[in-house]
Every structure is written in C-alpha cells, then in structure tokens.
C-alpha cells in the first residue's frame, strides 16, 4: 500500500540516526559496528549537504537531543534542502541543468532523472568495502537494490524498513468514538454501514458541545492527498490492494489504470450519493491541507477516509486537549460484503525510494561509513527509542518507555519528536517493526505490548465492544494472500519524459477533474460524466500507457525474482 509505507510510505520522515550512549553492554560492544567509525579521524567536523524530495516541517537542523548526539558521535552535521511543496521537483531538474549536486539526495520519483544524468554513484564497491551493517540490514534483499536488468549497480539505499510486520491498521474508514458509543457500537463493514452510522448521529447532533457545526464526512481532496483520501479507497473497498494509480492482474501481470475497473465506478457513485444527501462536504475538493487539519483538531469531523499518518498530528492535538471521544477508530470498509480488503497483502521488500550519494560528494567513503553506523544496532535503537536514561530504561533486560515519556510521545507527539528527534530522522537502511536485535528487544517501539499501552480509554471501550485486541484484528490477515512478486506498482517509476509518462500526466489531469465532477454532480448526471471520463482517458492514450506499464511490471518481476 503506497501510503502504508511511506508510504510507507508517503510519511517516511527523514533521518540521521545514530548511536545511543550505553544502550546495553551488548550494544556498546557490538562487533558489527565499523571499527573505525569512532576514530579521531572520523570525528573531524564535516557538513553533508542533502536534498530531500519531500517536505519535513519537523526538521530541526540537528538541534534535537538525538540530532546533537549524532554530531557529537560522528562529527557529521547535515545541511538540508527541501522542496517548496509536495509535488515540487524543480530543484532536482535545476541540479541536472546546472550539473551541480549536494553530497546526497533523497530524490523519490526524481531519482531516475538524476541517474540518467550520471549524477549518482554506484554504491556497490563502497558497501562491499565499508558497510557491513548496511549489508546486514538488507540481508537477502540486496539483489532488490539492483537498478535494472541491464545495470546491476546500487544507486539507492531504500528507506523502506526491512522485514516489516504491520501491527497497526492505519488505513480504512475512520469514525469518532463518540459516534460509535452513542450508537452502541454498530457493525461497520460496508459503505452502507458507515453511511448509516454517520446519518444516525448527524440527525441528532448538528453542532459540537461548543457550538461549532458538525461535519459528517470530510475528505482531504484539495491537494495531492486527493489520491490518498478520494481515489485510493475506490481500490481498497473493491477487493484490490493499493498499487498507486494502477491495477495489476496477479496472474498475468497486466497493468491498467485502476479507474478503468467498473467496480470502482460504483464506489464513486456512493460518494456522489453521500454528497447529494449532505453527509460529504463539498469543500472536501477545494480545501487546503491546513483547513482540513484545523477541522479535525476542532473535533467536529465525525468521519474520515484517509491514512492515519495524514492526520496523526491532529489526533495528537485532540488527545492533548483531552478530547478522546473525538479521536477515531478504523474499520476495513468495503463496497459490499462480497469484497475483501487486501491492505495487509505483502509486497515483499520494497526497494526503491531512498538515499543516494552523488558524484559531487566530498568524501563518499566517510558518508557510506556514516550511513553504515546509522544502520548498526546502536544507531537503530537510538532512531526508535532515543537515549537510555533519558527516553527509555532497561528493566530485566527489556527496554521500557517511562510513563511520563510515553505520555508526551502519545499525547504531544509533534513536540515530542521535535525536541527529542526520536522517530524523525529516517532516510537510510532500517529494520522494520517486529524485528528483534541480539538482546531480544524490538528495534522499534511498534509492537503489540507497546501499542496496547498507547490506547486511550476511548480506544479500550471500542476494542472491547467489538471483542478485539487491536483494530487490525478486523482486517483480513497477511497470511490470506500471496506475496506479490512485483512489490507495488507505485514503487515502479516511468522514465521521465517518456511517452508513457506524458500520457500518464494527461490521464492524471483528466482523472482529478472528472472524478471531482462526478462526485459533486446531481445523481442523474453521474453516468454521463463517468462515460465522458472513460472516453477522455481513451483519447489521451490510456491503452498505450497500460501496455508500457505492463512491460515495466514484468521487468520488475524478472529483476527481483530471477
């Protein structure tokens, strides 16, 4: 699932993590750490320039507790550059045009144009000579780091966590605990169930306790999150997994733009119906992200269809205010009960988006050693847990987050991350949730026992009412589906400027305009608008796009599995 990893995907926060002081004896003496990482030569002050292809409003110039420790231990500081907005790729295009690059880039979808321009160096010899921890993290997936069938060089160290187990349900349809409680925790399995719950509550409550007008359902459809909040759910509710903008036939690997699936039309028809009866606010398609977030923090939005990372900061604000009943439970809603959600179908390891070293790097050897140190056990613990004695303690051999620290982390997460640097500096190799280190502790703080500690009383009442231990228990499990040999389609990039890429951009423009029109139209106009949508896609060359993307999918299967 694209957003799950960002992902998974899309909220991958960038990072420079590093070694905690005195995690435990076994970590302090970890023989896997590069032996010359702490030599006096390696501590010589050095500033690395790094351009991110994504926003990070939490970036603190490494002045957080973890950030300062990174510089203290390695001598490395990071001077970061960020895009103006989420879709801004101009800075990478300017780099190519000027042939001037920073030391490192986290380029997302622009990595192809940098590689084509000869801007990225092959990391294979550096990894072999200086990066035992990086090799250890990626393990059996090293071959997935290869660039292509024709070029087996490694130009990107993927950010996606290795051997990730998903303990949380971060997708689905969200409903406030207040709604569920008043309705005595009804069945929420289909869009009709979801609609019934919103309508029943809204019929009785038009304003909040402080007099603000209640919004039954809001979508984050005014900016790039249109794909996350408006269109991706059409795939998930109709029995397929998020592949970005494509649907991949699991048997033939044939690709097609997912809007061509007739079942998705019926999901958008339901959104049209929700708009028609006044449960879906029209402003969903023009509001700015800040407006969307402000509505959530006010506590007046009953339902959301979004990824939880997209509004996690706002939930943290609600918790800080003590408005626990205005936070949300997630449900695996489908169009009807004939469909099964595939949210937890495994992609295998998703190589792709990550960090690269450019040809302009002042000292590639020191940079790869730095990244390797961050990939060590010591660095991984600091990234996720922080500093022993300050952010966690060890009791009977187990890492434990003290109650006061946990309260800050859960109920004031934004400021917690900003000041501590915990879970904020990810941009290189890392272990996933559920992976344990040599001490028997989890590398990350996301595991069942810890998740249970973070539930509010409102969560606990909801979970008990549905007789589950976590919201994920409502979803079909990973074991019910085969591992996908191509990973995820959203992780496969089209060549910039190619015919397929040009057609794709045209189809994207058509899609956003036509889907919005179809949802806000009068119901009797919906079919005509949708028919015009399909005709426009055909005219734009969607069949050629499907054909070319199918080739890319089949190439990926060959690269990763042969």
pLDDT at position 327 is 97
Query: How far is the C-alpha of 413 from the C-alpha of 418, rounded, in Å?
Result: 8
CATH of domain 2-164+349-420: 3.40.190.10
Evaluate if residue 3 carries a pLDDT over 60: no
Query: How far is the C-alpha of 81 from the C-alpha of 53, rounded, in Å?
Result: 9
At 115-169, the pLDDT tens digits run 999 999 999 999 999 999 999 999 999 999 999 999 999 999 999 999 999 999 9
Annotated domain spans of the chain: 2-164+349-420
- Tokens 């990626």 correspond to what residue? 138
In the chain, % of residues over pLDDT 90 = 80
Q: Which residues pair with 431 in a beta bridge?
A: 162
Evaluate if residue 60 carries a pLDDT over 90: no
Query: How far is the C-alpha of 269 from the C-alpha of 523, rounded, in Å?
Result: 8
Q: How far apart are the first and last CA of the chain?
A: 24
89 versus 195: the higher-pLDDT residue is: 195
Let me know how long the chain is.
562
Judge contact between 516 and 221, C-beta under 8 A: yes
Q: Which of 238, 251, 246 shows the shortest CA–CA distance to 190?
A: 238
Evaluate if residue 499 carries a pLDDT over 50: yes
pLDDT at position 87 is 63
At 231-278, the pLDDT tens digits run 999 999 999 988 999 999 999 999 999 999 999 999 999 999 999 999
How confident is residue 14, by pLDDT bands cut at 50, 70 and 90?
very low
User: How confident is the prediction for the chain on average, in pLDDT?
Assistant: 90
With 0-12 / 13-18 / 19 or more C-beta atoms within 10 angstroms meaning exposed / middle / buried, residue 211 is: exposed
Across 208-220, average pLDDT: 95
pLDDT at position 8 is 41
Q: Indicate the SS3 state at residue 562.
A: coil
396 φ/ψ sector (left φ>0, alpha ψ -120 to 50, else beta): left
């Amino acid at each position: 699932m694209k957003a799950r990893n960002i992902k998974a995907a899309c909220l991958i926060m960038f990072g420079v993590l590093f070694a905690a002081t005195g995690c435990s004896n076994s970590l302090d003496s970890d023989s896997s750490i590069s032996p010359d990482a702490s030599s006096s030569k390696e501590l010589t002050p050095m500033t690395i320039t790094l351009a991110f292809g994504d926003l990070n409003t939490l970036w603190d110039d490494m002045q957080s507790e973890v950030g300062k420790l990174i510089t203290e231990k390695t001598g490395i500081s990071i001077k970061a550059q960020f895009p103006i907005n989420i879709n801004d790729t101009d800075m990478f295009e300017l780099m190519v045009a000027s042939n001037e690059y920073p030391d490192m880039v986290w380029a997302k979808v622009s990595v192809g144009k940098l590689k084509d321009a000869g801007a990225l160096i092959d990391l294979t010899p550096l990894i072999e000579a200086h990066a035992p921890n990086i090799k250890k993290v990626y393990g059996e997936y090293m071959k997935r780091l290869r660039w292509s069938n024709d070029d087996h060089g490694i130009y990107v160290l993927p950010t996606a966590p290795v051997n990730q187990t998903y303990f949380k349900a971060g997708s689905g349809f969200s409903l406030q605990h207040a709604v569920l409680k008043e309705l005595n925790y009804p069945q929420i399995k289909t869009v009709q169930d979801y609609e019934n719950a919103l309508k029943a509550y809204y019929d009785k409550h038009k304003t909040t306790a402080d007099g603000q007008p209640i919004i039954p359902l809001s979508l984050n459809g005014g900016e790039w999150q249109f794909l996350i909040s408006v269109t991706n759910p059409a795939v998930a509710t109709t029995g397929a997994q998020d592949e970005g903008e494509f649907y991949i036939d699991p048997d033939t690997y044939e690709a097609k733009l997912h809007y061509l699936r007739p079942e998705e039309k019926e999901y958008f028809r339901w959104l049209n119906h929700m708009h028609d009866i006044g449960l879906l606010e029209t402003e969903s398609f023009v509001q700015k992200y800040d407006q969307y977030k402000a509505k959530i923090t006010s506590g007046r939005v009953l339902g959301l269809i979004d990824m939880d990372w997209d509004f996690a900061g706002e939930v943290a604000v609600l918790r800080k205010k003590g408005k626990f009943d205005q936070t949300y439970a997630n449900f695996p809603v489908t169009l009807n009960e004939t469909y099964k959600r595939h949210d937890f179908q495994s992609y295998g390891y998703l190589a792709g988006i990550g960090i690269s070293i450019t040809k302009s790097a002042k000292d590639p050897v020191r940079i790869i050693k730095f990244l390797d140190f961050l990939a060590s056990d010591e660095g991984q613990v600091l990234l996720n847990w922080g500093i022993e004695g300050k952010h966690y303690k060890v009791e009977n051999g187990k890492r434990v987050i003290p109650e006061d620290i946990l309260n800050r982390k859960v109920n004031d997460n934004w400021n917690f991350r900003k000041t501590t640097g915990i879970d904020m500096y990810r941009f290189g190799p890392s272990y996933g949730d559920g992976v344990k280190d040599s001490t028997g502790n989890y590398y990350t703080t996301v595991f069942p026992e810890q998740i249970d500690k973070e539930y509010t009383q409102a969560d606990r009442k909801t979970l008990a009412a549905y007789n589950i231990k976590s919201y994920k228990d409502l979803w079909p499990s990973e074991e019910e589906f085969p591992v996908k040999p191509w990973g995820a389609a959203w992780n496969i990039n089209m060549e910039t400027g190619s015919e397929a890429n040009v057609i794709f951009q045209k189809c994207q423009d058509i899609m956003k305009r036509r889907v919005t029109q179809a949802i806000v139209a009068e119901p009797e106009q919906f079919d005509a608008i949708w028919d015009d949508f399909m005709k426009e896609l055909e005219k734009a060359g969607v069949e050629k796009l499907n054909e070319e993307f199918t080739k890319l999918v089949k190439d990926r299967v060959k690269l990763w599995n042969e």
